[in-house]
Structure 1
């Protein structure tokens, strides 16, 4: 349709890149909007944006119209993903449940949806009907507005203590826990209220040498992982065999990857777990060029094993990054890192395209970059078993950097999520 062949065949991969351009733009603005207007408001506004523009996209009359709408769909998709991840994944759930939600809770269902995609595509060959079938489930999210609360941490950071206390007391009642008479100490509230008068922007991700170093390393890490993940996902049509089966296998391999990442995050240090997954994925991709051409099944196996390693790292990097940034800029930090990963996803179709010149070149490039990102991970601070920081001064330190003594107004890091007793015993 729309004559996307011969001289116009470049429009096909460009459409994919334009979607990721929208994801890039959404990553840039979603963090700032969420930190300013609240996690819940941005979550549901961008859910409506994604569902609405996807529905309009079904009635596209030209490639240009389809592509413009695809950009807007991408903006909404990543915005609600990041907002939901920060809301539930780091700021509502307790420490043990947080890892479970961010890995198995989110990613396993993502993999199930991924597996359903080739199944839907096999039986629904018309792209308009397929897009409609994939869009309508978004309406099921509407009732969740009355179920999902705003982040108490965000409310506290805005000085809205009573609203935060109401949410915590409601959670305690739901879980059969008796809330203490005083959840927030008045003297602490006065101290927090004086601190929270300051507004934060994307520039605060570069305020100190420590947060700037973490931001730069996170940006590079996310970008490289994204190139590997989306490059391998988009490369499945170029593998030998049935395209639907290969797509299904690419989705199936993500299930054990997410389970392994959950076990690693729960029991082992973050940076060593991520580095191991990245080394596995990168080295396997580099080995593909050594496989004889007649062993096609082995080549597919190695590609799937590489996808396994990179997918595990992709699952862990969300949790790791969110734990490194403080509450006041956490959504911006995750959003900026996600924005960097979208630069990688925009480039990934062109990594795949290099296979037209040398079929091993995409694997060599993706494998090399993945190994380098594994080395980079080892220089990040370790967040395993540490309390979530609330302020920039409470952030974990990158080893090897010189620091000025913290100011006297800096709150002790122990006044963290365990400090209000109710946060320890209450989970939504």
Structure 2
């Protein structure tokens, strides 16, 4: 149940945020992941029996159950599925908490009605092509980033270092790249940030096999840089895909692509096991070439910086070009609440 809860929680947070805050909240959610990775190495060192370890690390999730009842449903999703009064109720509550004034109810209901009307003839030729392109590219990229991220986390045996120290370091090096992602994405945008992250990952991993065996520290440094940049790719691509896929199919789309990342995570240990004794350098080569493939695959997609989240498939024909002619909302505008 971990992947669905992570996925749905991430979508919910991103759907209620205005454009300039989506990258901030996306990064904050994944920084907690990095801290947990650091702590996990300590727990694993103290609790060697895997059943007790799994029980121990699962207990904190019980704290989340009562907290979930304090969270409202996504007003975007409610508007898309036709539950307009519930969406208005959520928006009013949010406006009251944030001490802001909403547009009149009739204006909000008119926008919701337009959005729902778009669902009738949503799958236009262009939007159909775009959603297929997004699905293919993102499933491939998520598979590769899952293989990179989890594979580099589990690569201690290939490098011949202490497993517990390696996992602790790998969790620690995830924090700096996630904290600097905010200014990077502000400067380069979502798409180029992901491409740059993949490209640097590919360069350092393809360089690592060329390092002499007596310079093991330098070899580990390069692997950790690869881990840092794959972390950047994983975090920024999660934000990027939520801004590409419309609300009406966002959960399904992210579910499919997240399954791709789990497939990559599934492949990684088998790949490492197959090469770690005979060709330990091959792990870096395969991971580096995979990062290059992911980098090139993103080229046909478009930038999503400072545009509002698409709500329907029909929005794909207009939102990525900069305006939404149906609702007359400018790209950097949201119903701020």
State TM-score, norm by structure 1: 0.72
Please, which of 309, 325, 336 is the counterpart of residue 245 of structure 2?
325
Match of 1:101?
25
Match of 2:299?
378
The answer to whether structure 1 residue 393 and structure 2 residue 318 are counterparts is: no
Match of 1:412?
326
Deviation of 1:146 after TM superposition, in Å, equals: 2.6
Listed as ranges, the matches of 1:49-88 within 5 Å are 76-88=1-13
CA distance in 2, matches of 1:235, 1:78: 23
Listed as ranges, the matches of 1:168-317 within 5 Å are 168-182=91-105, 184-196=107-119, 208-317=128-237
Deviations 1:356-400, CA, capped at 9 Å, x for gaps: 22010111111011022112223211111222212212216899x
Assess, with a 3 A threshold, how the Cα gap between structure 1 residues 315 and 380 changes in structure 2: closer, same or farther: same
CA distance in 2, matches of 1:397, 1:93: 21
Match of 1:147?
70
Contact between 1:169 and 1:179, CA under 8 Å: does it hold in 2? yes
State TM-score, norm by structure 2: 0.90
* Structure 1, unaligned runs of 5 or more: 1-75, 400-409
Deviation of 1:78 after TM superposition, in Å, equals: 0.6
CA distance in 1, matches of 2:125, 2:249: 7
CA distance in 2, matches of 1:193, 1:283: 46
Deviation of 1:270 after TM superposition, in Å, equals: 1.6
CA distance in 1, matches of 2:248, 2:95: 25
Assess, with a 3 A threshold, how the Cα gap between structure 1 residues 172 and 234 changes in structure 2: closer, same or farther: same
Contact between 1:387 and 1:414, CA under 8 Å: does it hold in 2? no
Assess, with a 3 A threshold, how the Cα gap between structure 1 residues 161 and 416 changes in structure 2: closer, same or farther: farther
Match of 1:337?
257
Relative contact order (alpha carbons < 8 A, sep ≥ 6): 1 or 2 greater? 2
The answer to whether structure 1 residue 125 and structure 2 residue 38 are counterparts is: no
* Structure 2, unaligned runs of 5 or more: none
Assess, with a 3 A threshold, how the Cα gap between structure 1 residues 181 and 230 changes in structure 2: closer, same or farther: same
Deviation of 1:111 after TM superposition, in Å, equals: 0.3
CA distance in 2, matches of 1:122, 1:186: 56
CA distance in 1, matches of 2:150, 2:189: 26
Deviation of 1:114 after TM superposition, in Å, equals: 0.5
Contact between 1:278 and 1:370, CA under 8 Å: does it hold in 2? yes
* 1:380 counterpart SS class: coil
Contact between 1:115 and 1:248, CA under 8 Å: does it hold in 2? yes
The answer to whether structure 1 residue 111 and structure 2 residue 34 are counterparts is: yes
CA distance in 2, matches of 1:159, 1:260: 39
Assess, with a 3 A threshold, how the Cα gap between structure 1 residues 107 and 193 changes in structure 2: closer, same or farther: closer
Contact between 1:277 and 1:309, CA under 8 Å: does it hold in 2? yes
Match of 2:283?
362
Deviation of 1:187 after TM superposition, in Å, equals: 4.2
Deviation of 1:126 after TM superposition, in Å, equals: 3.0
CA distance in 2, matches of 1:187, 1:176: 23
